[in-house]
């Protein structure tokens, strides 16, 4: 089977600490893959491998290979800036820049050196539409993004990620700081986005993983314990540790 | 024990109570028709209210656990199977009442000779054994005990199938209404046996996550 992303024999170390242990996984294209597990299990470390965010950590060391579209993204020939155009990321807390809504969404295009105003305007509009925010902000694009609600700010961040037209979106607990209504909007958006993008999402919310993920991976203490279709994980997990975790009997 | 474990433990106790109430109801129903005991028949009607109340309580508990605790995996399977077992048990209790109603409605007892020929007592004994197996399987969470009911249900089905010809053969020898009521009782016990089989399937679904209904056991 051909995967959009593949991790092969992945070990990650932070100094002497082994954060991930021999992870092998294939991520399906145009699907949502949820990563679950207790804090410190390695799921965020794993997520950040795909856009090389861990490279900034001095003690970080990686063994094994990460492939996107069959290219090893840790190969010396890969340009990290180019990689990140293809792999967008949305973080736990909305982190818009202290700029207008328009400038936030246009930011990625501008740092790529794109100056064509008409092109940027079209891309910003398309990204805001894809992020299901256009109708709410179309008459106020000059307004500071910081003046928006938390849910709207997070959708600005999603639009910012989409504007550079990636094919993969990484999400690290994207709704943990949002109220249920904003969470529902972002979840609905994720389900729409998967038609065009491959999405990997870290979440501590079991119900959210159940609602939006097609596949779910359960990590525990650096090991990938179980990876399967989400409905299988949540109705009939094969591993006792998975069952104990998702039913709240862990520890 | 976390909160959902407590809820599930309480729900298990409630369903076990339902099992015992229905088992008691069934024993009374069997006694009423075998011994033509009108007092027992009346007692069944009055205890039906307790069973109905218990059914509603379990329904409500299942709804609350789903709404408040969002169960998954083994917990979800337990809630789903409990919900179905609860309704199957209530259906069995209704059948027990319906069988016993013959004693109140008709003034001729089932003739012992035809009861023996049609194997009514044996059918009721098999039914009781099935009920005992299911209670033990549910209480001890042992699917192998639940599986025993499938073979026993086949015996109940056989007695039911044979009953038709036995009634035809004896149609001129006994009171016709009595014979028709007897055949009706046999049919109802067969349906109750099917409900027990479904309960066995639900216990296996809960414990092994295997869907075996509509399959050859």
Please state, rounded to an integer, the average pLDDT across all residues of chain B.
Answer: 93
What are the tokens at B81? 């199977």
Cβ <8 Å between B209 and A249: no
Strand segments (E) across chain A: 5-14, 17-27, 32-36, 60-68, 71-72, 87-90, 168-172, 198-202, 215-220, 223-229
Per-residue pLDDT at B42: 81
Which distant-in-sequence residues (6+ apart) come within 8 Å of B35 by Cβ?
none
Length of chain A: 251
Round to whole Å and give the CA distance between A238 and A232. 9
pTM of the entire predicted model: 0.83
Residue B115 confidence (pLDDT) above 80: yes
- Distance of CA A243 to CAs A173, A208, A235, A236, B82, Å? 21, 17, 9, 8, 19
Confidence of residue B106 (pLDDT cuts 50, 70, 90): confident
Which distant-in-sequence residues (6+ apart) come within 8 Å of B148 by Cβ?
B130, B133
ipTM: 0.72
User: What spatial distance separates the first Cα and last Cα of chain B, rounded to whole Å?
Assistant: 35
Residue A237 contacts B where some CB pair is shorter than 8 Å = yes
Cβ <8 Å between B72 and A236: no
Distance from CA of B149 to the nearest CA of A (A): 25
pLDDT in tens, B167-195: 999 999 999 999 999 999 999 999 999 99
Confidence of residue B215 (pLDDT cuts 50, 70, 90): confident
Per-residue pLDDT at B13: 98
Residue A201 contacts B where some CB pair is shorter than 8 Å = no
pLDDT in tens, B7-22: 999 999 999 999 999 9
Confidence of residue B1 (pLDDT cuts 50, 70, 90): confident
Cβ atoms of A68 and A5 closer than 8 Å: yes
- Which residues of B fall within a CB distance of 8 Å from A242? 73
What are the tokens at A19? 């954060």
Per-residue pLDDT at B64: 93
Round to whole Å and give the CA distance between B180 and B192. 18
Round to whole Å and give the CA distance between A228 and B209. 16
Per-residue pLDDT at B20: 97
Per-residue pLDDT at A201: 97
Distance from CA of A176 to the nearest CA of B (A): 18
Based on its alpha-carbon atoms, the radius of gyration of chain B, rounded to whole angstroms, reads: 19
Element (H, E) at A46: helix A43-49
Per-residue pLDDT at A185: 87
Mutate to test the interface with B, among A232, A236, A241, A251 (most CBs of B within 10 A): A236
Per-residue pLDDT at B4: 87
The one-digit pLDDT tens for each residue of chain A (251 residues) are: 789 999 999 999 999 999 999 999 999 999 999 999 999 999 999 999 999 999 999 999 999 999 999 999 999 999 999 999 999 999 999 999 999 999 999 999 999 899 999 999 999 999 999 999 999 999 999 999 999 999 999 999 999 999 999 999 999 999 998 889 889 989 999 999 999 999 999 999 999 999 999 999 999 999 999 999 999 999 999 999 999 999 988 74
- Which residues of B fall within a CB distance of 8 Å from A237? 73
Nearest to A154 by CA among A164, A143, A166, A145: A145
Distance from CA of A228 to the nearest CA of B (A): 14
φ, ψ for residue B212 (rounded to 5)?
Answer: -115, 0
Tokens 């407590």 label which residue? B6
Which distant-in-sequence residues (6+ apart) come within 8 Å of B82 by Cβ?
B11, B12, B15, B58, B62, B206
CA A109 to chain centre: 20
CATH classification (class only), B3-214: mainly alpha
Higher pLDDT, B46 or A88: A88
Based on its alpha-carbon atoms, the radius of gyration of chain A, rounded to whole angstroms, reads: 18
| Percent of chain B scoring above 70 in pLDDT | 99
Confidence of residue B217 (pLDDT cuts 50, 70, 90): low
- Which residues of A fall within a CB distance of 8 Å from B71? 247
User: What DSSP state is assigned to residue A144?
Assistant: B
Query: Which range is least confidently modeled, A30-44, B119-133, B201-215?
Result: B201-215
| Percent of chain B scoring above 90 in pLDDT | 79
Q: What is the largest CA-CA distance in chain A?
A: 56
Cβ atoms of A198 and A187 closer than 8 Å: no
What are the tokens at A113? 């050196």
Count contacts between A and B (CB, < 8 Å).
31
Which candidate from B2, B5, B73 shows the least CB-CB separation from A246?
Answer: B73
Round to whole Å and give the CA distance between A239 and A243. 7
Residue numbers of A between 41 and 60 with CB closer than 8 Å to B: none
């Amino acid at each position: 089977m051909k995967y959009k992303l593949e991790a092969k024999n992945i070990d990650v170390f932070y100094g002497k600490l082994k954060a991930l242990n021999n992870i092998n996984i294939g991520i399906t294209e145009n699907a949502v893959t949820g990563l679950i597990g207790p804090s410190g299990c390695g799921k965020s470390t794993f997520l950040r491998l795909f856009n090389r965010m861990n490279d900034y950590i001095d003690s970080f060391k990686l063994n094994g290979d990460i492939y996107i579209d069959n290219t090893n993204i840790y190969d010396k020939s890969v340009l990290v800036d180019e990689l990140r155009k293809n792999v967008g990321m949305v973080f736990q807390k909305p982190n818009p820049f202290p700029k207008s809504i328009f400038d936030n969404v246009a930011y990625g295009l501008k740092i790529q050196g794109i100056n064509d105003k008409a092109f940027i305007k079209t891309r910003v509009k398309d990204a805001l539409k894809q992020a299901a925010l256009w109708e709410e902000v179309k008459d106020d694009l000059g307004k500071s993004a910081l003046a928006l609600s938390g849910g709207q700010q997070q959708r600005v961040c999603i639009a910012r990620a989409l504007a550079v037209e990636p094919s993969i979106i990484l999400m690290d607990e994207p709704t943990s700081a949002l109220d249920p209504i904003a969470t529902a909007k972002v979840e609905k958006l994720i389900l729409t986005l998967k038609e065009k993008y491959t999405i990997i999402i870290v979440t501590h919310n079991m119900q959210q993983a159940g609602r939006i993920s097609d596949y779910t991976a359960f990590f525990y203490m650096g090991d990938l314990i179980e990876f399967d279709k989400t409905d299988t994980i949540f109705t009939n997990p094969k591993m006792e540790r998975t069952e104990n975790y998702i039913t709240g009997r862990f520890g | 024990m976390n909160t959902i474990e407590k809820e599930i433990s309480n729900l298990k106790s409630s369903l076990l109570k339902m099992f015992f109430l229905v088992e008691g109801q069934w024993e009374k129903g069997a006694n009423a028709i075998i011994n033509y005991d009108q007092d027992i028949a009346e007692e069944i009607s009055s205890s039906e209210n307790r069973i109905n109340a218990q059914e509603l309580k379990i329904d409500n508990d299942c709804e609350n656990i789903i709404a408040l605790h969002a169960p998954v995996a083994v917990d979800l399977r337990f809630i789903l199977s409990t919900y179905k077992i609860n309704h199957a048990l209530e259906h069995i209790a209704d059948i027990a009442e319906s069988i016993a109603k013959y004693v109140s409605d008709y003034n001729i007892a089932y003739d012992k000779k035809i009861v023996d020929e049609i194997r009514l007592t044996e059918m009721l004994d098999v039914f009781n054994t099935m009920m005992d197996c299911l209670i033990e399987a549910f209480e001890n969470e042992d699917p192998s005990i639940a599986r025993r009911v499938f073979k026993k249900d086949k015996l109940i089905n056989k007695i039911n199938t044979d009953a038709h010809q036995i009634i035809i053969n004896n149609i001129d020898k006994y009171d016709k209404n009595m014979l028709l009521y007897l055949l009706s009782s046999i049919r109802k016990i067969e349906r109750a046996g099917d409900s027990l089989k479904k309960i066995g399937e639900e216990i296996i679904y809960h414990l092994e996550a295997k869907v075996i209904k509509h399959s050859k056991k």
